Amino acid sequence: MKEIYFITATNTDVGKSYTSEVFLNYFAKQNKKVGYFKPIETAVKDIPIDGTKLLKIAQTLNKNFQVTIDDIVPYQFSLPAAPFVASNAQHIDIKLILSKITYLLKFCDILIIEGAGGLMVPINQNYFMIDLIKDINPTNTFLVSSSQLGSINDTLLSQKLLEQYQIKYNWYINLYKDKNNFFDITFPFYKAYYDKIEFVQDFL
C-alpha cells in the first residue's frame, strides 16, 4: 500500500529538509522503497539545492526512483520569498502538483513531501500550504517545531490550525537551534502541557 507523509513546520528555517532526510532513511531501514517530492522551492540560483540533495539521497536508498529534478521540484523560483510572491503572482497549478504525486508513487512505496515555509504560506492568492496538505490528504502530516525561544507560540498556533482543518498529524521538535537553552526556556512548558514529546533526532 502506498503511503504519503507531508513534512511541514511552524515557520521557515526550522528543518523540513533535514527532517525529510531523517525519515527517508528511517523508512528505508524498514525495507520500504522511498521517494521524495518538494513541489515548490524558492531561492533557487542555478539548481534547487534542497531538492537536488534529497533526490540524490532518495535515489541512493531506492534505485527504482529514477526521476528528474524537474519531477521532484516542478516549481522553482529565484526569489527567497513565499511562493505567491516568488512566482510574481503567476498561478501555481495545484492539479500539476497532484499529478506529479501520482507519477512519483509509481517508483516508491512511501513518498516524503516537503512543504515550503509554514502552514499559512501563500501558494496562490487565496490558497495556502495547509490547503495543499488538505488536497493531498496524506497518510500523515509531520509538524516540525524549532527548539529556539518563541517556538511555543508557533507550535500551538500551527497545531490549532491543523486541528481546525481536521488534518491528522504527528508533532516533532528539531533540536538544532538554541539547543543548549531549550531544556531551560521551552521544555518545561511542553513537559507540563503535552503527554508525549518526540524529537526528530529520535528517528536517527
Mapped onto helix, strand or coil, the DSSP state of residue 188 is helix
Query: Which residues have a Cβ under 8 Å from the Cβ of 41 and sit 6 or more positions away?
Result: 48, 49, 50, 51, 73, 75, 76, 77, 116
Residue 180's pLDDT is 84
For the residues 69-73, what does the mean pLDDT come to?
Answer: 98
Query: Which residues have a Cβ under 8 Å from the Cβ of 63 and sit 6 or more positions away?
Result: none
User: Over the range 11-37, which residues count as b (16 or more CB within 10 Å of their CB) and which as e?
Assistant: beebbbbbbbbbbbebbbeeebbbbbb
The residue whose grid cell reads 521544555 is 187
Q: Which of 55-59, 153-157, 176-180, 197-201 has the lowest mean pLDDT?
A: 176-180
For the residues 138-156, what does the mean pLDDT come to?
Answer: 97
Residue 177's pLDDT is 80
Residue 74's pLDDT is 98
Residue 179's pLDDT is 84
Dihedral sign from CA coordinates of 9, 15, 21, 25: negative
CA 161: distance to chain centroid? 16
Do residues 39 and 73 lie in contact, with contact meaning Cβ atoms separated by under 8 Å? Answer: yes
- Give the confidence band of 193 by pLDDT, cuts at 50, 70, 90: very high
- In the chain, the DSSP E strands lie at 3-9, 34-37, 40-41, 75-76, 110-118, 122-124, 127-128, 140-146, 169-174
- Give the confidence band of 125 by pLDDT, cuts at 50, 70, 90: very high
For the residues 24-34, what does the mean pLDDT come to?
Answer: 98
16, 33, 38, 100: which one is catalytic? 38
Cell numbers standing for residue 82: 513565499
As a whole number of angstroms, the distance between CA 203 and CA 186 comes to 21
pLDDT tens readout for residues 148-164: 999 999 999 999 999 99
Q: CA angle at residue 42 from 169 to 20, to 5 degrees?
A: 35
Report the chain's C-alpha Rg in angstroms: 16
Cell numbers standing for residue 41: 522551492
Residue 29: active-site member? no
The rounded mean pLDDT for the chain is 97
Residue 197's pLDDT is 97
Q: Give me the domains of the chain, ranges plus CATH numbers.
A: 3-203 (3.40.50.300)
pLDDT tens readout for residues 88-112: 988 999 999 999 999 999 999 999 9
